[in-house]
Structure 1
Amino acid sequence: MENFHLLFLVLSSSVFVLSYGFSKNLPTLSFDEGYSQLFGHNNLIVLKDGKSVHLSLDENTGSGFVSQDLYLHGFFSASIKLPADYTAGVVVAFYMSNGDIFEKNHDEIDFEFLGNIRGKEWRVQTNIYGNGSTNVGREERYGLWFDPSDDFHQYSILWTHTHIIFYVDDIAIREIKRTGSMGGDFPSKPMTLYATIWDASEWATNGGKYKVNYKYSPYVAEFSNFVLHGCTVDPIELSSFKCEATPKPNTIPTGVTPSQRTKMESFRKKHMQYSYCYDKIRYKSPPSECMINPKEAERLKKFDPVTFGGGRGSHHHHHHHAKRHRRSQSVSI
C-alpha cells in the first residue's frame, strides 16, 4: 500500500520562530500524530502545546521517543536545545535506525551530541552504518559556531538512494555519496526515527575519563519543530512503492547547492575535529569512499598529530555496543 506521509511538528511561534531558509515554512503536526514514547516513562514530558518535548536523564533512567512509522528515504529534522553546564558523559542522540528489525544487519544514520566538562563545548558527531557494518566506523566530529545549550537549533538528515546529507540549521555539514565500493555499507533498508538521552560515561568524554555527575541532574534536552517527510513502509512486508515521485514541499532540499557547498567547506575547515577518513591509527589506507583533501588532512594533523599523523600514541578507539536504545558505535578521544 502506498502511503506517503508528511508528518510535522513545530514549537508554537510565540515561543520560538525559525529564522533559517528551507526550515522556515514547513507544514506541521502534533507530537502524538508522529511519535510514541520509547522508554523512560516519567522522563519524557510533552508540553501543553502538544508540539514540544522534554527528554531528561537522571540517576534512574534516560528517555526517548520513536516515530510511529517506518521510512525508506526522506527528510527528517528537529530543533534541539541541549542541557547546559556540566554535561560530561551525557549523550543526546537524534538518529534513524532499524536495529529492532534487523538485529544482525541493521542500518543507522546518526547525530550524536557529546556532552563535556564545564567550560568545554558540546561536540556533534555524525555517523552511518549499512547492513551491520559496525566494524567500519564512519564517524566525523565537529565543534559548533554557537553554544547548542543556549537556544534551539535545527538538525536535519536528508536520506536518498544516492546520498545522505547532514545539516545544522540550513548549513550542510557533511555529504556522503553512495559509491559502488561501499556496497551494502550505505543505509538502504527502511528505518524509524529516534531521539534519546542517555548515560555514556564509559566512552563519551575523553574515552570515559569524565563520567556523568548526577548532582547536576536532571539533564534536560528540549525537542521541537520535528519534520518527518518520507516514504512510509509496511512494517510487516517491509515493502513500499517508489515515493520519490510524490510531490513534496519545495522547501525540502534535494541536495547540496553551490552556495551550500561553499558554506559546508567553510564549516568543515573551521569546525571539524575528527574524520575517519584521515585516521591513520584506525586505517592504514582510507576506506574506498573517502575523498582525501590535502588541506583537510594537514589541518587535522595539527589538531591531533597522533591520530592523523600516524605516529605512536595512546589513542584508543573504542567500538561500543550500547544498551538497547543505542546500537551505535563511537570513537573515544
Structure 2
Amino acid sequence: MGGCHLCFLFLCLSSAMVVVSGSSSMNNNLPIITFEDGYTPLFGDNNLIIHNDGKLVHLTLDQRTGSGFVSHELYLHGYFSAKIKLPADYTAGVVVAFYMSNGDLFKKNHDEIDFEFLGNIRGRDWRMQTNFYGNGSTNTGREERYDLWFDPSQDFHQYSILWTDSKIIFYVDNVPIREVKRTESMGGDFPSKPMTLYATIWDASDWATDGGKYRVNYKYAPYVAEFSNFVMHGCGVDPIDENVAKCNNAQNSKANIIPKHKIKMENFRNNHMTYSYCYDRARYQVPPPECVISLEEAEALRKLDPTTFGDGRRHRGGGKQRHHQSKGRKAEDASF
C-alpha cells in the first residue's frame, strides 16, 4: 500500500473520527490487510512464519533467537491494530510487543507508543503494559500495567492504537483502556514524529517477570505469538518529504471517546490497572505534569500495589527498546 493511498484513506477516517473513535465497530469499518501489504520480516529468519496467504503470522522465541516484523512505511497519526494470541503455560521472561517507534531514525530523540505483554510463571497471568515516549524522553517512563479480564493465550484479542496530534488512545477488544491527552506542559514529550510499526517476541529475562527473578525457561520453548487481522489506517510518509505537512493538515484532532465507552474505560482502569507512573511516589516526588490524578484510581492502586505509594521499590519496565537496538543488526467477566 503506497503512502498516497494511505493518506487518502486517512482523510476518510478523519472526517468520521469524532463518530467512530469511541465506537465498538471501529475496526469493522476499516480494511484488514495481509502481512505482505503492510509488513516485512525484521529478524528471526525461520522463527517468523506466514500462514493463510498472509492473514496470519507466527512469531517464535526459542533458545536461538526471537523474531519480529516491521511495517513497510513510516506513519504520522492514524489507527493501527492487530489481533494477537500469546503463548501459554510457563512464559516468565518472555515479552511480546506491538508498538510504534522511530528509534532507528532518531537515535537520541526517538518517539514511541507501546503495547507490551509480559509473561509469567505457571499459574500466574500475563500482564499488559502501555507506554509512550516523545523526543527521547526515556528518563520519564510513562508506564501503566494491567491484568486482563480474559486469558490472552486461549484466543485472539484485538489491541489497537489511535494516535492523533492531540491524543493517544489504547484499546483492547475495542474497549478504550487509556487516553493520553497532549498538554502544553508536556512539551516535546508527546510523540510527534513519523513512526514505524513493529511486532516482536524476545527474551527479557533481566526485567520482565518480578524484576528478573523468574527467567525464560527454554524447556517450554518454542514460545509462539500469533498475529492476525492487521489494520494500518494512517498517513504513510517520507520523513524528509513534504508529506509530513500534508498528514498534519489531513488529520483530525477531535478524536473523542463517546460517554458510554468513557464509563467502560473508567471501569477497566479501576478494576484492572495494577500500576501507573502517575501514582509512583518512589519514582516521582511530584507526578509528571500531564498526570490527572483520580481518587478512584489511587484507592484501587493502593489496595492492589501499596509499593507504588513509596516503599522505595523502583518500577521496572521499558526494556523492549534496548532489545530493539541490540538484537543484532499481559478470567472473569469484566462487566464493561
| TM-score (ref. length: structure 1) | 0.87
How far apart, in 1, do the equivalents of 2:53 and 2:81 lie? 19
CA contact (8 A) 1:64 1:197 kept: yes
Residue number in structure 2 paired with 1:265:
266
How far apart, in 2, do the equivalents of 1:280 and 1:235 lie? 38
Residue 202 of structure 1 deviates from its aligned partner by 0.1
SS of structure 2 residue aligned to 1:211: coil
CA gap 1:325/1:219 in 2 versus in 1, 3 angstroms: farther
Residue number in structure 2 paired with 1:289:
290
Residue 314 of structure 1 deviates from its aligned partner by 4.3
CA contact (8 A) 1:2 1:240 kept: no
Residue number in structure 2 paired with 1:94:
98
Residue number in structure 2 paired with 1:177:
181
My pick for the range that moved more, 42-51 or 230-239, is 230-239
Task: Write the mapping of 1:217-232 to structure 2, written as runs, cut at 5 A.
Answer: 217-232=221-236
Residue number in structure 2 paired with 1:277:
278
Residue number in structure 2 paired with 1:113:
117
1:46 and 2:42 equivalent? no
Q: Which of 160, 168, 182 is matched with 1:164 structurally?
A: 168
SS of structure 1 residue aligned to 2:53: coil
Residue number in structure 1 paired with 2:14:
none
How far apart, in 2, do the equivalents of 1:285 and 1:182 lie? 14
Residue 241 of structure 1 deviates from its aligned partner by 3.8
CA contact (8 A) 2:271 2:300 kept: no
CA gap 1:173/1:305 in 2 versus in 1, 3 angstroms: same
Task: Write the mapping of 1:174-253 to structure 2, written as runs, cut at 5 A.
Answer: 174-237=178-241, 239-243=243-247
Residue 27 of structure 1 deviates from its aligned partner by 1.9
1:324 and 2:327 equivalent? no
The one-letter amino acid of 2:204's match is A
Residue 36 of structure 1 deviates from its aligned partner by 0.5
1:70 and 2:71 equivalent? no
How far apart, in 2, do the equivalents of 1:319 and 1:198 lie? 13
CA contact (8 A) 1:4 1:230 kept: no
CA gap 1:229/1:300 in 2 versus in 1, 3 angstroms: same
| Cα-to-partner distance string for 1:282-303 (whole Å, 9 max, x where unaligned) | 0001111101011211221121
Residue number in structure 2 paired with 1:14:
none
How well do the aligned residues superpose, as a CA RMSD in angstroms? Answer: 2.2
How far apart, in 1, do the equivalents of 2:318 and 2:250 lie? 39
SS of structure 1 residue aligned to 2:52: coil
SS of structure 1 residue aligned to 2:104: coil
How far apart, in 2, do the equivalents of 1:158 and 1:61 lie? 31
Percent identity between matched residues is: 67
How far apart, in 1, do the equivalents of 2:130 and 2:159 lie? 11
- Segments of structure 1 that go 5 or more residues without pairing to the other structure are 8-19, 328-333
How far apart, in 1, do the equivalents of 2:196 and 2:238 lie? 12
How far apart, in 2, do the equivalents of 1:224 and 1:172 lie? 20
How far apart, in 2, do the equivalents of 1:168 and 1:150 lie? 15
SS of structure 1 residue aligned to 2:224: strand
Residue 188 of structure 1 deviates from its aligned partner by 0.1
| Cα-to-partner distance string for 1:119-171 (whole Å, 9 max, x where unaligned) | 10001000000000000000000000000001000000000000000000110
- Segments of structure 2 that go 5 or more residues without pairing to the other structure are 11-23, 328-336
Residue 315 of structure 1 deviates from its aligned partner by 4.4
1:24 and 2:40 equivalent? no
How far apart, in 2, do the equivalents of 1:109 and 1:136 lie? 14
CA contact (8 A) 2:164 2:251 kept: no
My pick for the range that moved more, 231-240 or 274-283, is 231-240
Residue 242 of structure 1 deviates from its aligned partner by 2.9
The one-letter amino acid of 2:269's match is R
| Cα-to-partner distance string for 1:29-67 (whole Å, 9 max, x where unaligned) | 321111010000110000032211000000010000000
SS of structure 2 residue aligned to 1:104: coil
CA gap 1:42/1:165 in 2 versus in 1, 3 angstroms: same
How many residues end up aligned between the 2 structures?
309
